[in-house]
Amino acid sequence: MKIKVKIYSDKYTAYNIIIGNDIFNNLSGIITDNFRANKYFVIIDTNVFRSYSKIIRKQLSNKNFISELIILPSGEKEKNIKNVLDISNSLLSKGADRKSAIIAIGGGVVGDIAGFISSIYMRGIPIIHIPTSLIAQVDSSIGGKTAIDIPKGKNILGSFNQPNLVLTDINFLKSLDESEYRNGLSEVVKYGIISGTGLFNKLERNINSIKKRDTKFLANIISTCVKIKKGIVEKDEKENNLRRILNFGHTIGHAIESASVYKVPHGRAVASGMIIASRISAELFGLKQNDLNRIEELINKLGLDYGIPEFVRTNDILNAIKNDKKKSGKIITFIMLRKIGLPLITNKIPTGILKKEIDKLRNSNIIKANLSRS
Ligand code: GLY
């Protein structure tokens, strides 16, 4: 399936997202058919390279596909300025120029750092994303956000840099470890909650296909998520307004991650953030109890991990919310719900309600943990 994204904001950009299940085996051919460059620079992380080295070496040896390989160690801590400099030096010494293209193969970390480099190397060169995790396939490879971390904060240096092509191969998901898969499922549930009711209903009816990672079903779900995100970023590339709804569950989720010093995985933090945001929506914005129950049930039935561990203090979460990097002055934006499929953007959430709901989620989980121990 081919989905075209068209961005009309500062400059017109359009690119294709190709979704299938036999892309990686034909990589060099598909890339040269869809995006021509004088030389391709593959940036890949160690883990993905280890798992697919045979196919990658075979693809890179294709004579029509002039390429170089740059391997980056895996993990969020690699999203740093030193790697930006090291990779840029490698690009220069291996002969990358403005007619070259970067190919980022991996999850969000590789996509973020390679995307950032492509936006500044020689004032910008093209980038092709090949996302290998579910979260990268439905979220980070689309929409052009790039970033690296600095010691004082996550994603502080970055740019909006739309890719030139995205190739999404569902087969990567077969070998994805369970916690990574669940990280991505949290984002899939988010799309289901913020955009109409079609995706949400489909997720509710197909729990087993999702758990079994049924290739056909996943292709369908991923293309639905991609179409939702495309519709949003086409209208608001730079997150001035509408794009903020993609942050449903994330203001609180990011604060949980940061207060836990990144020990709580993104998926668990976002699932917790979505539950808290939904409960507050029921209290303040008229979300019906039935919708709230359906959201919590879907998260439970999919087996998504959520909850706030004892070592993460409520005050640290509240402080992290106050320092949210997306705040404007003192105003912090939250995405809430009027009903499933109908989000609203607000900055009027009293701290007392946030505190109450964070504590409630923490306590209900302690009760659950105690029960399972007895
Ligand atoms: N991940 C949220 C966005 O791309 O805006």
pLDDT digits (tens, 9 = 90+) for 9-62: 777 889 999 999 989 999 999 999 999 999 999 999 999 999 999 999 999 988
Helix (H, G, I), strand (E, B) or coil at 287: coil
Cα of 139 vs centre of ligand 1, distance in Å, is: 6
Sign of the C-alpha dihedral computed for residues 272, 275, 279 and 285 taken in this order = positive
Please tell me the residue having the least CA distance from ligand 1 atom 3: 246
Closest ligand 1 atom to Cα of 233: 5
Cα of 138 vs centre of ligand 1, distance in Å, is: 10
**Ligand 1 probe mutation, 135, 159, 161, 239, most atoms within 8 A of CB:** 239
71 in Cβ contact with 104 (< 8 Å): no
Query: What span, in angstroms and rounded, lies between the C-alpha atoms of 70 and 94?
Result: 10
| DSSP-H helix ranges across the chain | 27-34, 46-60, 81-93, 108-120, 134-135, 178-194, 198-205, 207-212, 215-235, 250-259, 266-284, 289-301, 314-322, 351-373
Cα of 246 vs centre of ligand 1, distance in Å, is: 6
Ligand 1 neighbours (beta carbon < 6 A): 139, 143, 145, 239, 243, 246
Which DSSP symbol is given to 285? Answer: S
**Ligand 1 probe mutation, 229, 238, 251, 270, most atoms within 8 A of CB:** 229
What local confidence, expressed as pLDDT, does residue 370 receive?
41
Closest ligand 1 atom to Cα of 247: 2
Cα of 286 vs centre of ligand 1, distance in Å, is: 26
Token pair for 92: 């220069």
Cα of 140 vs centre of ligand 1, distance in Å, is: 7
110 in Cβ contact with 94 (< 8 Å): no
pLDDT digits (tens, 9 = 90+) for 163-208: 999 999 999 999 999 989 999 999 999 999 999 899 999 999 999 9
Cα of 367 vs centre of ligand 1, distance in Å, is: 34
226 in Cβ contact with 3 (< 8 Å): yes
**Ligand 1 probe mutation, 194, 235, 241, 247, most atoms within 8 A of CB:** 247
Cα of 339 vs centre of ligand 1, distance in Å, is: 21
Helix (H, G, I), strand (E, B) or coil at 139: helix
Closest ligand 1 atom to Cα of 187: 1
Closest ligand 1 atom to Cα of 143: 4
Cα of 261 vs centre of ligand 1, distance in Å, is: 21
31 in Cβ contact with 165 (< 8 Å): yes
| Bridge pairing between strands 127-131 and 165-169 | parallel
pLDDT under 70: residue ranges of the chain = 365-374
Please tell me the residue having the least CA distance from ligand 1 atom 2: 246
What local confidence, expressed as pLDDT, does residue 151 receive?
85
Q: Report which of 324, 320, 325, 275 is spatially closest to residue 302, judged by C-alpha positions.
A: 275
What local confidence, expressed as pLDDT, does residue 365 receive?
54
Residue 42 dihedral angles phi and psi, to the nearest 5°: -85, 120
Helix (H, G, I), strand (E, B) or coil at 186: helix
87 in Cβ contact with 121 (< 8 Å): no
Instruction: Show the CA angle centred on residue 132, arms to residues 267 and 117, nearest 5°.
Output: 95
Cα of 289 vs centre of ligand 1, distance in Å, is: 28
